[in-house]
Structure 1
Amino acid sequence: MSLPPIRVLTLSKLTGTKDWRLSLAHDRDVHLLIWVTRGQGRMLLNGTRRGVGTHNAILVPAGTLFSLELGRQGMGLAAQIPAGTQVRLPEGPRQLRVRDAPSIGELTSLFETAQREDSSGRELSQDALDAHIALMSVWLRRQIARPEHLPTPMNAAARLSARFCQRVTQFHATGISMAEHAEALNVTPTHLTRACKAATGRTAADLLTERVLYAARIALSETDVAIQDIARHLGFGSAAYFTRFIQAHTSKTPTVLRKSASR
């Protein structure tokens, strides 16, 4: 089976001008490499909340729960890299705050060249993009080897939050409650909630809710699957319960959200 194509997009094209596509906690089935070129904000990555600024390189492996909020002034580029690629990428999620001008210029040039290749429509463009992503990976691995980019040790709350986030990506569509996740992690719901709040600024229930909401909004905006089938797939007991959930978090019904997305 052939892999999906590599894409190199601006952040605005990645989101389709819909902020929730990045701001809600979610995971993707592709690796994502983001290069922030302007603005500052915050993100969720590896179970912790972090500040984000200009010239931050962010690697989000496929299946990793994350979110990113840069605000209206934020700008950047993103490479979507299919899982299963032959390109050797660094293991695990990473955030690199790049300070030296040569490294900034090198990655900016790699991204801009890859973006032009992606939009050119020329023959063998995916072969060329493979080569560009391989060079980006070399850049990443060189940066990670630098002393200033050694990862900060995680405290107990962050480690528990990261484990919970891994479970959310796996089981968000099963209807498993936050309390059931806590039991599987051998902690009380109160302890899990406090740990997630300390590490991410969101409660465990908030993270689970956001992941389900993201899946629901994607299904409503990108498919024509019947609403009752979406509800069933995401573990809701009924379409009515699903509708109340959507209204509570968006102030719109599923039908209205779907119609607005189609426009």
Structure 2
Amino acid sequence: MPETDLRIVPLSQLAGNSDWRLTLAHDRREQFLIWVTRGQGRLLLNGQRRGVGTHNAIVVPADHLFSLDMGRQGVGQAVIIPEGCQVLFPQMPRLLRIREVSAMSELTVLMEAATREQAAARPLTAQAMEAHGALISVWLQRQMALEEHMPEKRNAAARLCAAYCGRITAHFRETMTMADHAAALGVTPTHLTRACKAATGRTAADLLTERVLYEARSLLTGTRAPAQDIARHLGFGSAAYFTRFIQHHTQATPTALRRAGAQAPELA
């Protein structure tokens, strides 16, 4: 199926068979729904860390910082809605803990029907997948409207961390430090760090570092762009500084990471 079409993939495929593709804080251009069918883990979304378990539905809008660590035992599926797809999921990041058996069964049936359609690859598959996606979106909206799934009121730390996460997704390619972001938010670096630590278990610097590291690893393993161009693209002052950054956080050189990954088109 074209990458512009709605599709359903196993959770393992969403991770690209590389744990860091889910466990590092990052954002994506597509929106998606993750339906966890087995296992427990931890989710970072909307500036908060939450526990995740079986029969949890996770709504991740495009350009929202998140990470998910389900370990080796986690199993689930993801409905991916790329840019340009006509189906729209709710644009509010949410974690829904589904407790009603009928609701679990309804989503499972919808996902299975869409998966069968996708596998059949018949004429008009794209249109059929969008129709299945629309039904899944209706299911989501109905669940989110229930009183039991109303979002909890966030404290000041969580609100500040969410605002900071929004700034990370918008500016991580620029030469802005955590202190620069704190100043833009009108708080001290110490206050921002404490808020992020309380809300996510990560420091403010950790969140920014993870987003840059995710992009660096993605470009090294998914493009043929020279490391120095990637370094420049991500706001590093030099290729040497970029190499030290990669080695410090991965214990491997950019060349070694690239060798371990697939080659793809040049960086635009």
CA distance in 2, matches of 1:80, 1:3: 10
1:3 Cα deviation from its structure 2 partner: 8.1
CA distance in 2, matches of 1:33, 1:10: 12
Contact 2:81 2:87 in 1 (8 A): no
Contact 1:43 1:68 in 2 (8 A): yes
CA distance in 2, matches of 1:119, 1:216: 33
User: Aligned partner of 1:80: which letter?
Assistant: I
User: Residue 73 of structure 2 aligns to a residue in which SS?
Assistant: coil
User: Aligned partner of 2:57: which letter?
Assistant: A
Contact 2:5 2:85 in 1 (8 A): no
> After TM superposition, what 4+ stretches of structure 1 lie above 6 angstroms from structure 2?
none
| Equivalent in the alignment of 1:207 | 207
Alpha-carbon displacement from aligned partner over 1:41-82 (angstroms, at most 9, x marks no partner) = 111000000000000000100000000000100000001102
CA distance in 1, matches of 2:110, 2:255: 42
User: Aligned partner of 1:201: which letter?
Assistant: G
CA distance in 2, matches of 1:185, 1:39: 37
CA distance in 1, matches of 2:112, 2:240: 47
1:112 Cα deviation from its structure 2 partner: 1.8
Q: Does 1:247 align with 2:255?
A: no
User: Aligned partner of 1:50: which letter?
Assistant: R
Contact 1:65 1:165 in 2 (8 A): yes
Unaligned runs of 5+ in 2: 264-268
Unaligned runs of 5+ in 1: none
Give me the identity figure in percent: 62
Alpha-carbon displacement from aligned partner over 1:73-98 (angstroms, at most 9, x marks no partner) = 00000011023443242231011000
1:39 Cα deviation from its structure 2 partner: 0.2
Q: 1:3 to 1:262 in 2, by over 3 A?
A: closer
* CA RMSD, Structure 1 to Structure 2 (Å): 1.4
CA distance in 1, matches of 2:112, 2:255: 39
CA distance in 1, matches of 2:31, 2:99: 24
User: Residue 187 of structure 1 aligns to a residue in which SS?
Assistant: coil
1:164 Cα deviation from its structure 2 partner: 0.1
CA distance in 1, matches of 2:218, 2:88: 30
Structure 1 segment 96-245 matched on structure 2, within 5 A:
96-245=96-245
The normalised TM-score by structure 1 is: 0.97
Structure 1 segment 24-43 matched on structure 2, within 5 A:
24-43=24-43
Contact 1:10 1:76 in 2 (8 A): yes
Structure 1 segment 38-53 matched on structure 2, within 5 A:
38-53=38-53
Aligned residues: 262
User: Residue 206 of structure 2 aligns to a residue in which SS?
Assistant: helix
Contact 1:3 1:84 in 2 (8 A): no
| Equivalent in the alignment of 2:266 | none
User: Residue 68 of structure 1 aligns to a residue in which SS?
Assistant: strand
User: Aligned partner of 2:181: which letter?
Assistant: H
Contact 2:42 2:70 in 1 (8 A): yes
CA distance in 1, matches of 2:83, 2:61: 8
User: Aligned partner of 1:7: which letter?
Assistant: R
CA distance in 2, matches of 1:47, 1:38: 24
User: Residue 78 of structure 2 aligns to a residue in which SS?
Assistant: strand
User: Residue 42 of structure 2 aligns to a residue in which SS?
Assistant: strand
Contact 2:59 2:93 in 1 (8 A): yes
Contact 1:59 1:93 in 2 (8 A): yes
CA distance in 2, matches of 1:135, 1:51: 27
User: Aligned partner of 2:201: which letter?
Assistant: G
The normalised TM-score by structure 2 is: 0.95
Structure 1 segment 12-27 matched on structure 2, within 5 A:
12-27=12-27
